[in-house]
A and B are shown apart, each in its own frame.
Chain A
Amino acid sequence: MKRSGIASIKARKGKDRLVYWFVCLFSFLAMIPLFVILYNVISKGYKNFNLNLFTKGTPSSMDALMAKMNGEPIPGGILNGITGSLLIVGMAILFSVPIGLSVGVYLSENRKHKFARIISFLADLLQGMPSIVIGIIAYAWVVKPLGGYSALAGSIALTIMMLPMIIRSTEETLKMLPQSYKEAGLALGSSYTNVVFKILIPSGFGGIFTGILLAISRVLGETAPLMLTALGASVVNWNIMEPSSAIPLLIWDFYNDPNLVEMVWSSSLLLLIVIFLLNGIAKIVARKWKV
């Protein structure tokens, strides 16, 4: 009896080690695509990653062909895409943050309320909604009634995509705060609004802000909904009622133009850098603002 007990402990230890190595192996395998992407984007993108990229608009296909034949670098950049992304995503932030924050506060404060549960369920559904569907909805609701493609329509599509992430992160962060912060605030004679804005939201700032940054980094790369709403433009546009370009839209255009296809990589590199930066900041904020 005793001996078999010892044997089984050895067997269990062996199994333990086996599982451990399997987990390590698969973790490594899962990371390979990331390294491949990084290697490709950096090695192919750095050539055109220069000042032109930030200061010039999209070159015409013809100019690019001529430059190529003369062995010169492509004479243009993605300034129209950068400004377009700033405009569209910037507006999406303006729309989605106040709405998302309010809904998140509502959900965390009325956990047992039936209406809150329905909203919470709908937010989950929205999170799983394919972005192309959101693009079509924005097309039907905004582009059609306004009579044309516009940066505004694009930002509304992105707002819809950002909302569930902001709602969730706000709700989850506020739920984690001890109930006693709220009670302590109220016990000092504070109004409920002041408790929410001066205690709860500042205390949960790290988590909420991280959620907003991650939502931004998610929609920065969205292409499909923008095709149906912002359409794209070859010049810099700051008018919200006009069609506008965006970095992912340009990447798609470059991909379809054999003379500009090299620009795919430098544009992707820029997009990746921005998204990594946002994620990095989110990590730092989440750690620094832990309460």
Chain B
Amino acid sequence: MEGITNQNGMEPVLRFIDVSVSYTPGVYAVKNVSTAIYPNTITAVMGPSGCGKSTLLRAINRMHDLYANIKTTGQIILKGKDVLKTDPMEVRRMAGMVFQQPNPFPTMSIYDNVLAGYKLNGIKLNKEEKDEIVEDSLRNVALWNEVKDAMNKRGSFLSGGQQQRLCIARALALKPEVLLMDEPTSALDPISTNRIEELLLELRKQYSMLIVTHNMSQAARISDNSMFMYLGELVEHNNTKQMFTKPRNRRTEEYLTGVFG
């Protein structure tokens, strides 16, 4: 893993140690993954459908707890805490998630959507604090100027790309340690995709991000590091430039050149 970009030579924000996830006993969707994610980097997780990239991502914020049949083993260390031994609600506040389909809460206004994390966690804020969080978060995702006069409209009134930026703002409002994104642009048009990508590059100054993507050129455009997964195994994790130019593994090379996928 010597080629992985680590912007400031810092300690990893997230570390996987021998992580495995199984849906049915003995059948592994993610197999013995060990690696590290560094602060202020964007890491793209690539691989063919069913290779376990989303499964790995969802293991980080304990989304697998929702389904009794899924078992996660190993250690996932987020900011020094073993995720699998920490209360899932605490973990999820440290790891924001953005989904494939933009999903602002339909009954809440734009304003309330940004604050949803606080409301759902029963955190009381006064008006100034609320206004500040909303403005900061929406400025962060470059949505403030577009919606500042429509704060009380429902989130679903926005376009798909704006909705997805609202969802990112909603996740950022809680000031998470990492931002997990599961194909966040695959439901969006190219222009909206482009805006989100610019936004992610901007956000990298403050956050560490993992982004599952099917889109190799997207990975090449925005990520510092790339993970290539195949059949549940982490085949290669490297600096994106190196991975795309001189992949170390034959499988990676075949995937990147379109031999399979």
Report the interface size for chain B: residues with CB under 8 A from the other chain: 28
A168 to chain B, nearest CB (A): 22
B107 lies within 8 A of A190 (CB): no
Q: Is the interface of A mostly helix, strand, loop or mixed?
A: helix
What string of 1s and 0s marks CB contacts (under 8 Å) between B236-247 and chain A?
A: 000000000000
State A195–B65 Cα separation when bound (angstroms): 15
Do A186 and B92 have beta carbons less than 8 Å apart?
yes
Confirm or deny: B171 has a beta carbon within 8 angstroms of a beta carbon on chain A. Answer: yes
- A190 cross-chain contacts in B, Cβ below 8 A: 89, 117, 120-121
Verify B63–A188 contact, CB threshold 8 A: no
Say which residue of B89, B101, B107, B156 sits within 8 Å of A189 (CB atoms). B89
* Residues on the A chain within 8 Å of B90, using CB: 189
Answer yes or no: B152 CB below 8 A from chain A CBs. no
CB nearest neighbor in B for A188:
B117
Tell me, yes or no, whether B174 is within 8 Å of chain A by CB. Answer: yes
B174 touches A188 (CB 8 A): yes
- List the one stretch of A198-206, A208-216, A279-287 in contact with chain B: A198-206
Instruction: Say whether B103 faces chain A, with CB atoms less than 8 Å apart.
Output: yes
Known: A184-B97, A184-B167, A291-B156. A189 touches B103 (CB 8 A): no
State A195–B103 Cα separation when bound (angstroms).
14
Kindly state whether residue A194 has any CB partner on chain B within 8 Å.
yes
* B63 lies within 8 A of A183 (CB): yes
In the complex the two chains form, is B97's CB within 8 Å of A187's CB?
A: yes
Does A181 touch B at the CB level, under 8 Å?
Answer: yes
Q: A91–B103 Cα gap in the complex (Å)? A: 38
With both beta carbons as reference points, the residue of chain A lying nearest to B120 in the complex is identified as: A190
Chain A residues whose CB sits within 8 angstroms of the CB of B106 once the complex forms? 181, 203, 291
Assess whether B66 is interfacial by the CB under 8 Å rule. Answer: yes
Cβ of A221 within 8 Å of any chain B Cβ, yes or no, is: no
Cα A191 to Cα B106 in complex, Å, equals 19
Name the A residues within 8 Å of B89 (CB-CB). 189-191
Those 8 A-B pairs whose CB atoms lie nearest each other, nearest first: A190-B120, A189-B93, A291-B106, A187-B97, A188-B117, A189-B92, A202-B107, A180-B103
Can you give 10 contacting A-B residue pairs, CB < 8 Å?
A184-B97, A184-B99, A185-B116, A188-B92, A189-B120, A189-B121, A189-B174, A190-B89, A199-B105, A203-B105
Given pairs A190-B89, A191-B89, 19 additional interface contacts (CB within 8 A): A180-B101, A184-B97, A184-B99, A184-B167, A186-B92, A187-B61, A187-B97, A188-B93, A188-B171, A188-B174, A189-B89, A189-B90, A189-B120, A189-B174, A195-B120, A198-B119, A202-B107, A203-B105, A291-B106
Give residues in A with beta carbon < 8 Å to B: 178, 180-191, 194-195, 198-199, 202-203, 205, 291
